[in-house]
Amino acid sequence: MVKVCAGLSGLELARRPLAWSSLSLFGLVRPLANLERIWFRERAAGQPVEAMYAISGGAEPDFDGTGPTRAESDFARLKEQWRRADEAVAGLSFDDTFEFGGATALHLTCP
């Protein structure tokens, strides 16, 4: 993701190809950071995690507020979540399982 966006300005990253959509390249950074936090830290490693983005009245807090001036700080947040996710699962094996919502244990093993 970082390589795909390298060299683009905040304005270019925040540009939305469809006027009615909240999706942009920059708009993918926040959900990725949130997924790293939830799946690796909270679910796989069992760490308590704080909410990453405040709900500001919008239905999609990960996509809200992705203006060009936030690009640098949100990319830094994504990199920090990658680092923390790596630390959280460093002691886990690919054969380890975890429970999610009372469902059957999920394996970390890739098929």
Other C-beta atoms within 10 Å of 30: how many? Answer: 22
CB contact at 8 A, 59 and 27: no
pTM for the model stands at 0.72
User: Average per-residue pLDDT in the chain?
Assistant: 77
Annotated domain spans of the chain: 2-107
Residue 85 has pLDDT above 90, yes or no: yes
Residue 111 has pLDDT above 50, yes or no: no
Burial class (CB in 10 A: 0-12, 13-18, 19+), 68: middle
pLDDT single digits (tens) 13-40? 778 778 777 777 777 888 888 889 988 8
